[in-house]
A and B are shown apart, each in its own frame.
Chain A
């Protein structure tokens, strides 16, 4: 499978990674190399082998449905870049994390 520079830019955009023109060319070479490796591996006969979804051959452990977390909003919001403050902004903003406006 051949990748184009446009594919690199699209993947970078989806991952929100800034890639300059120079870096894009280098990334293209590296990613193409990885895909080449995968193409080689596809020559291996995997008939009858169950696809692996985790490196450990274990099953998920489950948690009882009991509330164990308490309200730590004030602690968490100390490190937030911007939070709503009901005192200086509209009261409904109190306790919200604020981000640049996202239009629906």
Chain B
């Protein structure tokens, strides 16, 4: 029996605002417990919510980025449930009329084994504004749970997809794409450790070819792409095995345990949710005009797809290179700045994706902390382009720049890496090499091509790597065939 997995995602992105969605309390991460829990956050009687303009702007930005319908009128609703970290007894969310309607995101699914990489469109059902709950702290006091309401009221945009994904790889490709996009447009810092980007994944399986959806189970609160892959793969296997053994799947909320790599259903009592949504009488409908959208549109950065196409057209980069460079806005900006400072595009692309990325990865740094800025990289690339240094020497110079040993020209001078392009000097070296390696010369003349490369190597060595390799090649050929 062939099975097919069907996956949809609900992602909570924490919006990058200064204050909470319905009050002027700070949302800065890491504050002492409850020091950012104002009267609205702790739900004292009589307080009223006042909507944060910036949270609305973030929602509009997202809607524009995914080409979605942005509702001219949307409504806040109360989602009722009891839990100690939700002191009002309801979460303010949006239900029937969300701020962002249908849109779409194009994802790149990477190659796996023999299966090539491919593109796919994932449809977005909706995105709505809501407030986060507080945090429960277990185990701090015997027999009690501690409640920290600093997070209560933090603005979230919950982004919901259609059940469009058909593998863990597709789900993760979507999650990564969304993660990149919300950071690109500046609405979310993307920090998964701090919970700024959390995914709930709905998984069901069905017989291949069936157009009916199976019963789904929802894996809650995945905050790493690695865990997401593991959780989906485990859950899919479990559902298929259950059905093949004649069992049935019951709708449930499950948690993923990273230690065991397994998913486990929460107790049914906790999942028996009946939220009794109704419009929140404390809030009027949110109206967004065409003028609001036009104003936000002017603040939107060039989106990754558009920038990728531009890199291909303007700089002649391959699709692969252009896609890699637009994987984050930071990386793309760094590349553009390097080119703006006078570097050629193709070498700039290679160095940004190669040496720079490798160094950053090895030292777990972000581009912002790179000791070699775009301007410095450009000055290095210009010295390669004007034949002052070879590519090999450039690697040494780069290393020295990275370690803070100074500017390009000073390092080239200090290390004596300047390339020798003086024909007379190179000829002198070649003459010495030919005299010292008579056997190789004979071999070459007898038709052994390899001997030529060996002679080039000897000449480069004799010049301590400083001779211009192209000139060495040319002059050596001339002398040998003379």
Interface residues in chain A, defined as those with a beta carbon under 8 Å from any beta carbon in chain B: 10, 14-16, 53-56, 58-69, 71-73, 76-77, 82, 84, 89-90, 92-104
Contacts and interface: CB of A to CB of B under 8 A. Distances in A.
25 contacts: A16-B82, A16-B89, A54-B283, A55-B281, A59-B285, A59-B286, A60-B285, A60-B287, A63-B51, A65-B18, A65-B53, A66-B24, A67-B18, A72-B39, A76-B39, A84-B140, A84-B141, A92-B146, A95-B32, A96-B34, A96-B146, A99-B84, A99-B144, A100-B143, A101-B138
A104 B138 CA distance: 9
A67 to B, nearest CB: 5
Contacts of B146: 84, 92-93, 96-98
Contacts of A64: 53
B315 interface: no
Given A66-B18, A96-B137, A98-B147, A56 B284 contact: yes
A102 B93 CA distance: 24
Contacts of A10: 274
Given A55-B281, A62-B52, A94-B32, 13 more contacts: A14-B274, A14-B276, A53-B97, A59-B285, A59-B287, A68-B24, A69-B26, A72-B38, A76-B39, A94-B33, A95-B32, A96-B140, A100-B145
Contacts of B52: 62-63, 65
Q: Which 6 A-B pairs have the closest CB atoms?
A: A68-B24, A96-B146, A65-B54, A95-B33, A62-B53, A59-B287
A65 B81 CA distance: 28
The main secondary structure of chain A at its interface with chain B is loop
Report the contact-size class of chain B (Cβ under 8 Å from the partner): 35 or more
A100 B462 CA distance: 80
B323 interface: no
Contacts of A95: 32-35, 148
Interface string B12-23: 000001110001
A71 B56 CA distance: 25
Nearest to A95: B33
Contact of A62 (B37, B39, B51, B144): B51
B3 interface: no
Interface in B139-185: 140-141, 143-149
A59 B287 CA distance: 6
Contact of B141 (A14, A73, A98): A98
The listed residue with most B CB atoms (<10 A of its CB), out of A60, A65, A104, is: A65
